[in-house]
Amino acid sequence: MDSNKKLGLIGRNISYSFSKKFFEDKFQKLMLKGYSYTIFDLTEIHEVNELFSVPDLIGFNVTIPYKEKIIDYLDDLSDEAKKIGAVNCVLIENGRKTGYNTDAFGFEKTLLLHKKPHQESAIILGNGGAAKAVKYILDKNNIPSVTVSRNTEINYRNLQRKTVQDHKIIIQCTPVGTFPNVEECLDFPFEGITKDHLIIDLIYNPNYTQFIIKASEKGAKTVNGYYMLEQQAEKAWEIWNFQKK
């Protein structure tokens, strides 16, 4: 291992990030000297260019709102990142910048851990980078899905209780309800949720969003984004350390 390896996270308003603590704990556990993990809070995506000239930077994670915008600044994409159209992990090797999507890996592990056979179709709430990774995994597992966002055909204003009843998996992919705005919640027909539903909210801070609380009141099985987050981070670690030629 080289004596100096820099990693980090790019996003906007990301002081509450899970990743920094996760990776710093990992460096300690593995007794790795000379590794560091920095939060790069960017006001605009073009500021990432300055980051690319940081010596010893071997890669970084990407979070809201840059998972799609980062693509224009990269040299290469993994097959998955290409298909998904969103990147949450970048590897820098010999000056080449390659984008990966480990959200897909993390979400698939979460989904397969909790999904029951009767849960055959899904509603995806949101259409940003995370929602794209979710859709990719649902398609891969032959689970039909409907995307609901502010500007889709079915949107938050016209989403029917019956549609919710008919789709037994609901994945909340928007940042609504994330710390510090923990009282916020999507406008959603919760009366369509039953005990046969699986609700996955990709938010991990707070542990229980208003969305999860309201869904669990209807008896649904609810899961937050923590396990997915851990899994995508482990996958990123693998990419940074085992892709070396």
pLDDT at 118: 98
| Catalytic positions, written as ranges | 67
Instruction: For residue 32, give both structure tokens.
Output: 């790795």
CA–CA gap between residue 106 and residue 87 (Å, rounded): 13
pLDDT in tens, 109-120: 999 999 999 999
Question: Please, which pLDDT band fits residue 14 given cuts at 50, 70 and 90?
Answer: confident
For domain 5-101, say whether CATH 3.10.580.10 is its number: no
Q: Residue 190: left (phi > 0), alpha (psi -120 to 50), or beta?
A: alpha
pLDDT in tens, 174-209: 999 999 999 999 999 999 999 999 999 999 999 999
Question: Please, which pLDDT band fits residue 84 given cuts at 50, 70 and 90?
Answer: very high
Residue 174 gets which letter from DSSP? Answer: S
Q: Extract the runs of DSSP E, i.e. beta strands, from the chain.
A: 5-11, 35-41, 57-62, 76-77, 89-93, 96-100, 122-125, 145-148, 169-172, 198-201, 221-223
Are 160 and 189 in contact by the 8 Å Cβ rule? The answer is yes
Mean pLDDT score, 55-84? 96
Instruction: For residue 192, give both structure tokens.
Output: 């369509």
- Return phi, psi of residue 94, to 5°: 50, 40
Which residues, other chains included, contact 168 with Cβ-Cβ below 8 Å and sequence gap of 6+? Answer: 118, 119, 120, 121, 122, 196, 197, 198
Break the chain into its structural domains and give their ranges: 5-101, 104-227
CA–CA gap between residue 44 and residue 63 (Å, rounded): 13
Query: Is the model's pLDDT at 3 over the cut of 70?
Result: no
Query: Is the model's pLDDT at 46 over the cut of 80?
Result: yes
- Cis-peptide into 65, omega within 30 deg: yes
Mean pLDDT of the chain: 95
Query: Is the model's pLDDT at 170 over the cut of 70?
Result: yes
Alpha helices in 1-141 (DSSP H): 18-29, 48-51, 79-84, 103-114, 129-140
Burial class (CB within 10 angstroms; exposed 0-12, middle 13-18, buried 19+) of 96: exposed
Q: How many CB atoms lie within 10 A of CB 122?
A: 24
CATH number of 104-227: 3.40.50.720
- Asked whether the domain spanning 104-227 has the same topology as the one spanning 5-101, the reply is yes
